[in-house]
A and B are shown apart, each in its own frame.
Chain A
Amino acid sequence: MSRAEVKFQIRDLNVHYGKAHALKSLSIDIYSNEILSIIGPSNSGKTSFLRSLNRLNDIEPNCRMTGAVLLDGKDIYRGISPEDLRKRVGMIFALPIPLPRSVYDNVAYGPRMAGIRNRKTLDVLVEESLTAAYLWDEVKDRLRSSALKLSGGQQQRLCIARSLALKPEVILFDEPCSGLDPISTGKVEESMMELQKNHTLVLVTNNTKQAARVGTRTAFFLMGELVEIDSTEKMFTAPIDGRTQDYIAGRFG
């Protein structure tokens, strides 16, 4: 595969929660416009890794970390505020979490917090974002009704739209389909493939088949360590490490 420009450079990253050593000297490059899938059994550090990319680990009082995370060559833990970082690096959580407000207000939340008050600008942003998340047609007539009334699949696409409204460069997906049925999962995956054109995506998933379907490259984490990373095709046909092979074949995890 072509060596595209590096979006995220992670160097020797260690994350501790209290006494638990969640990530062990991890080094990884994430390229622009790829979908990097991260697979691995639970407690392998996948989510900790994701949360160190948008500094969401900062809110855990007992979390310590060492090492460097560079976004476009700049250390995200120095010289950039967490707020500005999170506008560039969006996140989709495992369960769809619409805030208890209207569909419109959910999507406009990020831009409003960033200080955008102009009605027309917000209208345009909301429509664009919902369209990009394949949700506009389903909700355009009920933008003012509560987001809690949407179905689970629609809620997750709403969360994607909500992230997109900030025009992020990177989007982190933390097991985004774990609560969804196969059809909704298909729609979320479809929008991910579309988003790849203009964004860098990192997908943590417990579903190896999902990684195989959408990932440009796939990384296998085990016990806080990176076991192997390669193109998805290679990982699923000829992995080098025996543990990767076992996990993909469903022999543990």
Chain B
Amino acid sequence: MINEGTKEKVGFGILFLAAVLVVIPVLLIIWLIVSRGWSALSIEFLFTMPRDGMRAGGILPAIIGTFYLVMASIAFSLPIGVMAAIYLSEYARDNLVTRTINLAIINLAGVSSVVYGLFGLSLFVIFLRFGTSIISGALTLGIMTLPVIITTTREALRAVPKSYREVSLSLGATKWQTIRNSVLPPALPGILTGTVLSIGRVAGETAPILFTVAASYLPNLPRSPFDQAMALPYHLYIIATQIPGIREDYQYGTALVLVGLVLVINITAVIIRSRYRRRK
């Protein structure tokens, strides 16, 4: 018979190992791309166009393309997502319509990204005639991130104490004034967290942009939202699989830039969030 103390220790050990196990892949990924990609980083790599069939030169168009896609898709999905979440959390009553909307959001979150790509292709590229373009890609990615933004925003709004709403209403504020002045401000950090998660996903997705925006190589930078663009994840796929004899550090360098770009955007969001918290 094993005594209870030993069982406790074994149980604790297994739980601890499971927690450590989560960290290992993260560290491995970072170590892998930093150690193999670091040597590729240079001013030329970050700020010039590719040369020699993408075997040399830089990855500027892919960086710019991903940056545009992130910004444009967030500009589309953040306002719509936040407004939808406000409606669902503050105004909607529990009825058939609300339950249907909730079901739609859950299903939207479960759809695989390649299906989003196909959807974007048929709706934006073909039916609305936006063509293979930044706008088509950004809208597709925006729709894909809506469930994340709606869900996190709704949770952030629900976490605001009911008493804030009651105090504000008891001071003669209308419902909308209450939401704008007493509910949204404390919920803002939570909303930003959802946005950060979405940015990471938008920047890294390959399948949706494959159908709607991405080009494997373009000689010029995009000049309008209706131009095609290169993007980091797709560029990474192309140079890793389609171009024989490319230097390995170019592939890992591209991955490093992709991770770094998401990190920079996320840090910016965190700084905005902490500034906001300090202000009150």
Contact = CB atoms under 8 A, between A and B. Distances in A.
Nearest to A89: B170
A96 to B, nearest CB: 10
B280 A113 contact: no
Contact of B164 (A99, A102, A162): A99
A84 B172 contact: yes
A106 to B, nearest CB: 9
B42 interface: no
Q: How large is the interface on B (under 10, 10 to 19, 20 to 34, 35 or more residues)?
A: 20 to 34
A97 interface: yes
B173 A54 contact: no
Contacts of B182: 99
Given A83-B174, A113-B177, A97 B169 contact: no
Given A93-B163, A100-B280, A101-B280, A109 B168 contact: yes
Contacts of A91: 170
B122 interface: no
A59 B170 contact: no
A117 to B, nearest CB: 14
Given A97-B163, A99-B164, A113 B171 contact: yes
Given A93-B163, A99-B164, A113-B177, A56 B185 contact: no
A87 interface: yes
B172 A114 contact: yes
Contacts, number: 64
B172 A87 contact: yes
B171 A109 contact: yes
**Most chain A beta-carbon contacts within 10 A, residue among B93, B169, B171, B181:** B171
A61 B93 contact: yes
Nearest to A166: B172
Contacts of B165: 59
Contacts of A82: 169
Given A99-B164, A146-B280, A83 B170 contact: no
Contacts of A33: none
Contacts of B169: 56, 59, 82, 86
Contacts of B168: 99, 109, 113
A95 B171 contact: no
Contacts of A162: 171
A56 B169 CA distance: 8
Nearest to B160: A100
A5 B254 CA distance: 81
A93 B93 contact: no
Contacts of A93: 163, 166-167, 170
B160 to A, nearest CB: 10
Contact of A54 (B93, B170, B174, B280): B170
Interface in A5-53: none
B93 to A, nearest CB: 6
A216 interface: no
B222 interface: no
A110 interface: yes
A92 B24 CA distance: 53
Interface string B74-101: 0000000000000000000110000000
Contacts of B166: 56, 59, 93, 97
A90 interface: yes
Contact of B172 (A86, A99, A102): A86
Contacts of B181: 109, 113
Given A95-B163, A97-B167, A109-B168, 15 more contacts: A54-B170, A56-B166, A82-B169, A87-B172, A93-B166, A93-B170, A97-B161, A100-B280, A109-B173, A113-B172, A114-B172, A162-B171, A163-B170, A166-B171, A166-B172
27 contacts: A54-B170, A59-B166, A59-B169, A86-B169, A86-B170, A86-B171, A90-B170, A91-B170, A93-B166, A93-B170, A97-B164, A97-B166, A97-B167, A99-B167, A99-B168, A99-B182, A102-B280, A109-B168, A110-B172, A113-B171, A113-B172, A113-B174, A114-B172, A146-B280, A159-B167, A163-B170, A163-B171
Interface of A: 54, 56, 59, 61, 82-84, 86-87, 90-91, 93, 95, 97, 99-102, 109-110, 113-114, 146, 159, 162-163, 166
Interface of B: 93-94, 161, 163-174, 177, 181-182, 185-186, 280
